[in-house]
Structures are given as C-alpha cells and as structure tokens.
Chains A and B, each alone.
Chain A
Amino acid sequence: MALKTIAGVELEVSEDGYLKDMTQWNDEIAKEIATEIGIELTPKHFEVLNYLREKTEAKESLTIRGVGKSGIVTIKELYVLFPKGPLKFSSRIAGIPKPTSCI
C-alpha cells in the first residue's frame, strides 16, 4: 500500500493504483484516475461506475456478464467506454478493488 494524492486528497492506494477504501471516493477522484488512464468521463461512464459500486457494496461478484445484463450498457458498449480492459479500468476508476484470482 502507498499514499497518493488524487484530486487534492491524500488516499491509500494499492501498488497498482486501486483505492484501499471505497468510501473515500468522489466524482473528482474518479475523473483524475480516468485522466491518468486516458479516459474522459461522461454521464454514461458514471452510470456504470455507480452500478459497480452498488454491486460491490452489496458484496456481489462483478462480472462482465452481469454488467451486460444490468440494462445500463451492453458489453460492447462497456468496451467502448473503457477500452482495453473494461472491468480492470472501470473498477480502478470506481474506487473499488481490482478484479483478481487467488494468486
């Protein structure tokens, strides 16, 4: 874990830049992380981010299939919003943990 200042707030982040505490997240933090990745956030992005945060708060597993069934975006659209690693990048911007396996 390391400390990083994002949007003027000092936050604890993992080695690959994921927020340690999802409750510290706000829109400004999301925008700054997105800029770092090279994505400019639109209202549609925020709909997806909020959906991912709700699922995570409810301790439900996040899957690409799940996002596709959410009614917010299709999986193709998710790829357009977050190119080259939709779940990986959207999770980082949403301030939730990185999708991982056990090792």
Chain B
Amino acid sequence: MKNLIILGAGTSGTMMANHLRSKLAKNQWNITIVDQFKTHYYQPGFLFLPFDIYTESQVKKVGKKFIPKGVNYIQKKIKQIFPDENKVALEDETLNYDLLIIATGSKIAPEETEGMKGKNWHKNVFDFYTYEGSLALRNKLREFKGGKMIVHFTEMPIKCPVAPLEFAFLADSYFRKKGMRDKVDLKYVTPLGGAFTKPKATKALSYLLEEKGIEVITDFDIEKVDNDLNQIVDYGERAVDFDLLVTVPTNMGDKVIEKSGLGDDLNFVPTHPNTLQSQAHENIFVIGDATNVPASKAGSVAHFEAETLTDNILLYINNQPLKEEFDGHANCFIETGNNKALLIDFNYKQEPVEGTFPFAGIGPLKLLKESIFNHWGKLAFRWIYWNMLLKGIAIPFVSRNMSFKGKVFDIKSDQK
C-alpha cells in the first residue's frame, strides 16, 4: 500500500480528499488528511458576520462531515515535515508518505506590525479574518456610536484581496441603514497606489467610493499602531486617527512550513504556477493559500486548482508528464453594499473585464458591474460551498481555465 497525506482540512485539503478518494484505488492507496481543528469555517462569511447578515451557525460546521468515507482523518497538530525522509511528524506519531499535498493555508500575523496586537486588540483594533475577530467586531459594531473608522490592510499578498474594500462598502450600507452614516467618518487606507489598481476596474468602479463618501488614503505602509494616541503611523511618519480600526494584518503561511524549511519570506511554499508541484520536491504538491503562486488567495482559485491538481496527481503516479494547465483563474463576487454585488473573472495574465458570465452574451451574471442578481449569487454561494465545492463537485458551466468568450476587453470610461 502507498500513502498519500494531505496536510490541512480547509477548503483545499477537503476538496482534494473528495476528488482523490474516488480516483485512487482503495487497495493501492491510503489517503490520510491531518488537521488539528474540529471546525470547518466558511471564511467568506467572516465578511458578513460583523454586519449581522450571517449568524455564527451559518459560517461553521463540523469538519468531519465533509471528509469522505475511506479517508483517514487525523485531528492532531502537525509538528514538522521532513521532505528528504518523506515523513511528517505529528504531536505524538510520525507518518510516512509517498505523496504529500500541502494545504495548510494562510493566517493573519498581527504580531508582524508593532502595536497591532497590543492592549486594544479586539477592543478598538479588530481583524475580521478569524472567526474570533469577526465575532468580536460584530459585538463592537452593534454598540458603536460613531466616530472615525478606518478600514485598512497591511501589505499584499492577503487572502481575498478585495475583502477590505468590500468591508468598507458594507460598513457604509450598515451605518446608512442604522441612520447613523453622518456620524461615521469612514476612511480606506491601503499600501497600494489606489483602492483600485487595475486600469479597467479603476475606470469602471471608482465612482463607488465617491458615491459612498469613503475617503481613500493610498501608499500607506504601516509601521505601527499607536495604542495611546489611537493612530496608525506609516514609515513616512504619516498618522491617521481612529476610534475604530478594522485591519487585515500581514498574511503568512503556517509556521510548520517555516519550521520545515519549505517556505519563502512569508512561509508560502514555492510552487510551479501551472502544475502546482512544489519547486523543491517532486513528490510534494501544494494547493490553495499555502502556495506562493501569483494568483489570488481565494476559494474559487483553490477550486480551479483542485481540478488541475487531481489530474496531475494521477499523471505523477503513472509516471507521465504533468499538465502545465492552471492559469490562475479566479472568479469572485464582490459586495458593494445596498444588496448589490459585482462579479469578476480573471487569471494570471488577464485583468478583470466587463461582459457576461457564465454564458457569452446571455449571462445571467454581469461582470464588473453592480447588480442585485450578483448579490444573490454571492449569498447562494454559501450553499454551493457546503454542498458542492467542498465535495469536489464541478460547478456547472464554469471551467477550470478562464474563458474569453462574452467578455469586453476595452472598457470606455464613465460606464457604470
């Protein structure tokens, strides 16, 4: 018997377990998945939880429910990977592998910024990338009487790069609905050159910030959070005051990657961008947020990667050349507030453009334009996630590689 081990039972790991169990002969391959945590979170829901759009129970389920029969599920802490010996040390046992899939994701590292995880952490300085942070922020927002609010992210790459912007849009709607928008001074602070950074999106979407009265502060590389003055300060000594700071800290790969000597500066694993094989070890494959590939860190990307990776695992086992197929395809709904959303579709090379999705000329979803239908799509996605995506069921009409049909590659300005 041969052993395939999957590290991490999040979105990517769970999908790979489901894909591979039905494709690898049970009398030849044992499949083991390791994750220390019992709960599987619907992470896109962390965006909605603070605004009382979702409840706690809608964003978490018992992880075991999604692991297929015939896969050995070990709930233990991973201590270290020994790639030269094909071994993984867990807290109290060591596993041997023939093939390893790393799906350990990415995590926030607020301790990387001075003062961020200080005395005001989860008091008036919040993250919303963890269940705890998102829930604490919901309770804070319920009693928030107004003042200076900053929505901020520290540095790229972050998981779901549009989430901070969506958070700002949803905050605007939330305060309007509560009749207190005039009491909140809402600022969006970004290390990049603008809230939008791609030319076509900038042309099509810049009106959103103006319409919502959100002030944008650009090129802000945070040095520290000052917990006495309630300010964020950048390396150029610019300071922005806040009463409530919602931040996305530096995102990093799991500590076990660093400990095992497998990561880059940010503990992401150097990975071939088209095959998803690790650059350093041919029997290690990497998927989802754990890779260093220049795709967005998002569930949809993991979903498309899982399809290519499944094929490549089978090719690798049969000693055949791997497919250099994965193109960085991402497909994401972006909440813009007031029960509307955008949809974007892009890959490594092609920036998001306008058009229709998934059917050329028909839609029904519109790309890069606000619509109520897109918002329903985003909310419906929670059902798709729990019932289709995690189980490795292909989403009808949406292919792993980006389609260029039905898309407009030359957007004129002033279009809404």
Q: Which residues of A contact B (CB under 8 A)?
A: 14-16, 59-61, 63-66, 69, 75-76, 78-79, 83-88, 98-103
Q: Chain A residue with minimal CB distance to B238?
A: A84
B371 within 8 A of A: no
Question: For chain B, which range describes its interface: under 10, 10 to 19, 20 to 34, or 35 or more residues?
Answer: 35 or more
Asked whether, in the complex, the Cβ of B344 is within 8 Å of the Cβ of A60, the reply is no
| Interface core residue of A16, A79, A86, A101 (most chain B CB under 10 Å) | A101
15 A-B residue pairs with Cβ-Cβ distance under 8 Å, sorted by A, are A16-B199, A59-B292, A61-B266, A65-B266, A75-B223, A84-B236, A85-B218, A88-B192, A99-B193, A100-B197, A101-B196, A102-B161, A102-B332, A102-B344, A103-B161
Using A60-B292, A75-B223 as known contacts, say yes or no to A98 and B265 having CB atoms under 8 A apart. no
| Interface core residue of B165, B221, B296 (most chain A CB under 10 Å) | B221
Q: Chain A residue with minimal CB distance to B198?
A: A103
Using A83-B236, A84-B236 as known contacts, say yes or no to A101 and B197 having CB atoms under 8 A apart. yes
Asked whether, in the complex, the Cβ of B199 is within 8 Å of the Cβ of A88, the reply is no
Alpha-carbon distance A69/B155, docked complex (angstroms): 15
Chain B residues within an 8 Å CB radius of A99 = 156, 192-193, 197
The 5 closest A-B pairs by CB, nearest first: A85-B219, A100-B197, A103-B201, A101-B161, A79-B235
B330 within 8 A of A: yes
Alpha-carbon distance A46/B14, docked complex (angstroms): 46
B406 within 8 A of A: no
Using A60-B264, A83-B236, A85-B219 as known contacts, say yes or no to A103 and B162 having CB atoms under 8 A apart. yes
Chain B residues within an 8 Å CB radius of A64 = 155, 191, 221, 235
Q: Which residues of B contact A (CB under 8 A)?
A: 112, 155-157, 161-162, 165, 191-193, 196-199, 201, 205, 218-219, 221, 223, 235-236, 250, 264-266, 268, 273, 292, 294, 296, 330, 332, 334, 344, 346, 351-352
Alpha-carbon distance A63/B252, docked complex (angstroms): 12
A98 interface neighbour in B157, B193, B296, B352, Cβ under 8 Å: B193
Chain A residues within an 8 Å CB radius of B250 = 65
Using A15-B199, A59-B294, A65-B155 as known contacts, say yes or no to A88 and B219 having CB atoms under 8 A apart. yes
Alpha-carbon distance A16/B198, docked complex (angstroms): 10
Chain A residues within an 8 Å CB radius of B198 = 100-103
Shortest beta-carbon distance, A32 to chain B, in Å? 21
**B contacts with A: majority SS:** loop
Chain B residues within an 8 Å CB radius of A87 = 191, 221
Shortest beta-carbon distance, B37 to chain A, in Å? 27
Q: Chain B residue with minimal CB distance to A62?
A: B156
Asked whether, in the complex, the Cβ of B157 is within 8 Å of the Cβ of A61, the reply is yes
Alpha-carbon distance A13/B267, docked complex (angstroms): 33
Asked whether, in the complex, the Cβ of B205 is within 8 Å of the Cβ of A103, the reply is yes
B273 interface neighbour in A59, A66, A79, A84, Cβ under 8 Å: A59
B219 interface neighbour in A15, A84, A101, Cβ under 8 Å: A84
Alpha-carbon distance A87/B156, docked complex (angstroms): 11
Chain B residues within an 8 Å CB radius of A76 = 235
Asked whether, in the complex, the Cβ of A63 is within 8 Å of the Cβ of B236, the reply is no
Asked whether, in the complex, the Cβ of A101 is within 8 Å of the Cβ of B155, the reply is no
| Interface core residue of B196, B197, B273, B344 (most chain A CB under 10 Å) | B197
Alpha-carbon distance A101/B165, docked complex (angstroms): 11
Shortest beta-carbon distance, B23 to chain A, in Å? 30
B192 interface neighbour in A59, A75, A79, A100, Cβ under 8 Å: A100
Asked whether, in the complex, the Cβ of B294 is within 8 Å of the Cβ of A75, the reply is no
Shortest beta-carbon distance, B258 to chain A, in Å? 13
Asked whether, in the complex, the Cβ of B193 is within 8 Å of the Cβ of A88, the reply is yes
Chain A residues within an 8 Å CB radius of B193 = 16, 85, 88, 98-99
Asked whether, in the complex, the Cβ of A61 is within 8 Å of the Cβ of B219, the reply is no
Alpha-carbon distance A98/B250, docked complex (angstroms): 20
Asked whether, in the complex, the Cβ of A61 is within 8 Å of the Cβ of B352, the reply is no
Chain B residues within an 8 Å CB radius of A102 = 161-162, 198, 296, 330, 332, 344, 346, 352
Alpha-carbon distance A63/B250, docked complex (angstroms): 10
B334 interface neighbour in A69, A98, A103, Cβ under 8 Å: A103
Alpha-carbon distance A95/B197, docked complex (angstroms): 17
Chain A residues within an 8 Å CB radius of B296 = 102
